[in-house]
Amino acid sequence: MLDLKSVIADPEAVEKRLARRGPEAAALLGPVKELAARRRELNVALEGLKKDQSAANKRVGELMRTDKAAGEQARGEARALGEQVKEKEAALAQVEEEIAQRLLVVPNPPMDSVPDGADAEANVEVSRWGAPPKLEFQPKPHWDVGEGLGILEWQQAAKLSGARFTIYKGAGARLERAIISFFADVHGSRGYTEILPPYLVTRETMTGTGQLPKFEEDLFKTAGSDPLYLIPTAEVPLTNMHRDEIFEAEDLPISYCAFSPCFRAEAGASGKDTRGLIRQHQFHKVELVKLAKAEESEAEHQKMLDDACEVLRRLELHHRVVLLCAGDMGFSSAKTYDIEVWCPGQGTFREISSVSNCEDFQARRIRVRYRGEGGKPRLCHTLNGSGVAVGRTVVAILEQYQQADGSVIVPQALRPYMGGLERIVPQKFPRGVER
C-alpha cells in the first residue's frame, strides 16, 4: 500500500511514477487525491472547531462564577460545538477509511532502475546460463514426452476435477517429489529456514500481501460468511507470519523457504497454454521470502535471484534472467526479475520464477517493522521469489533431457532423490474400459 503522507505531500510525483505502469494505474490515484483534499479540509475545520470548543468551555467556567444565566447559555453553545466536533470527526474517519480502501487497489510504483515499457516486449534480458541441449532429433513438447512415458495423465485428471489439472504417475510423481526435496535442501544450505505453512488463510492475510481486494476473482475460497482462501503461493503465509511485529535491526534479514501447493482460479489468458503443465489451477512451488532492512533490500534482491538460479544451475538447465519493464510487473512489486527456462520442445523460453522486491508496499499493510537509527520503528522491505516452480521444472527436465528413444535422462543432482534412477523409460499402468 502506498504511503498516504507521500501522496499528500506530492501527489503529482506519485502519479508520474504510477504512470510508468500505464495510464490505468495512474488513474487509480485520482480518487485518492480528491479524498486527500477533503481530508485536509476536514482536518482544518476540525482544528478550528476544537479551538472554538476549548474557548467556549473556558468561557463557561468564567461566566458560571459571575453570571449563572449567561453561563448556562454559554454551556449550550459549547455543547453545540461539541456535537459539531463529533460530526466532523465521524466525517473524517469515514474519509480516511475510504482512502484506505482506495489505496488497497493502487499498485506499487516501479523503482527508477526498472525499464519503461507497456508489456513483455519491453523486458530486458540480463544474462543467460549454459547452452541449449544439442538434440539430434525433433524435440517433443513435455506433454507428448510425459504421455509417451506414461507418467503424466490429463484425461483422468479432467474426470476428477475438470480442465487444467494433472495426475502424475510412477516416476513422474517421484520426480516431482524429488525436485521439491532437492530445492528445499539447496535453499536450506544457503541460509533459508524451511517453513511448512497453512494452505488456507484469512481475508486479512490475503489483503496483507496484495492479493485482495484486487484479485478476488482469481482465488479459490471456502463457502460461508467468513471464508478461508486457498493460497496462490506460499508468499502469502510466509510474509504475513510477522504481521504487527517489530524487529531489532540486527535480526534482519530473515530468510524463509517453503514448499506448498498453490491454487489459482485464473490460470492465464483464455485459450492460452491449455495443454501441459504450464498453467494449472493447482501446482507445487518452493517459495523464497525475505524481510530486510530498507537500505539492504536491493542487495538481498540480487542474492535471492542468485539463490533461485542456483537450483537450475545444479540441474544443468539452460535458462536466462529478464528484468521486467514497468508495465509487465505484478501488482505488489517495485522491481522484478523473471527467470526463464529453455523448452526445446516448444522452441521458446518459459517463465519458471519471478523474484521481486516489494520495498515497503506489503510491510505497510501488515505493519511489520524494525528499529532503525535511534530506535525509531521503520517499515521492513519484503522480497519474494519462486525457488522455483516445481511443475515447470518438470517441464524443463522432460524437454531438455529427452532422448530420441522417448526416454528422459534424470539430472545428476536429482538421482540421489530418485533412488539412484538414471533414466525414466516408458511405463504402463492398468486402465479399465470406460462404460
Q: Helix, strand, or coil here: 422?
A: coil
Query: Annotation-wise, does 234 bind a ligand?
Result: yes
DSSP labels for 244-286?
T-EEEGGG--EEEEEEEEEE-S--SSTTSS-SSSSS-SEEEEE
Amino acid, res. 347: G
Query: Annotation-wise, does 151 bind a ligand?
Result: no
DSSP labels for 198-246?
-SEE-HHHHHHTT-TTTTGGG--B-SSSS--EE-SSTHHHHHHTTTT-E
Of the residues 20, 39, 164, 279, only one is catalytic, namely 279
Query: Annotation-wise, does 127 bind a ligand?
Result: no
Active site residue 296: no
Active site residue 279: yes
Residue entry with cell 481530508: 39
Pairing of strands 319-323, 124-129: antiparallel
Query: Annotation-wise, does 96 bind a ligand?
Result: no
Of the residues 255, 260, 333, 354, only one is catalytic, namely 354
Alpha carbon distance 274, 276 (integer Å): 7
Query: Annotation-wise, does 287 bind a ligand?
Result: yes
**From the CA atom positions of the chain, what is the Rg in Å?**
28
Of the residues 351, 367, 371, 415, only one is catalytic, namely 351
Q: Helix, strand, or coil here: 287?
A: strand
CA distances, 231 to each of 194, 198, 236, 261, 384 (Å): 17, 8, 7, 8, 15
Q: Give residues with Cβ within 8 angstroms of 224, minimum separation 6.
A: none
Torsions phi, psi for 158 (to 5 deg): -65, -35
Query: Annotation-wise, does 90 bind a ligand?
Result: no
DSSP 402: B
Query: Annotation-wise, does 386 bind a ligand?
Result: yes
As given in the structure block, the three cell numbers for residue 102 are 482506495
Pairing of strands 246-248, 369-371: parallel
Q: How many residues does the chain have?
A: 435
Query: Annotation-wise, does 265 bind a ligand?
Result: yes
Of the residues 264, 350, 365, 369, only one is catalytic, namely 264
Q: Helix, strand, or coil here: 354?
A: strand
Query: Annotation-wise, does 354 bind a ligand?
Result: yes
Active site residue 17: no
Of the residues 39, 340, 392, 399, only one is catalytic, namely 392
> Are the beta carbons of 400 and 318 closer than 8 angstroms?
yes
Pairing of strands 381-389, 348-357: antiparallel
Query: Annotation-wise, does 266 bind a ligand?
Result: yes
Active site residue 264: yes
Query: Annotation-wise, does 356 bind a ligand?
Result: no
Annotated binding site for L-serine: 233-235, 287, 386
Annotated binding site for ATP: 264-266, 351-354
Annotated binding site: 233-235, 264-266, 287, 351-354, 386
Which residues belong to the active site? 264, 279, 351, 354, 392
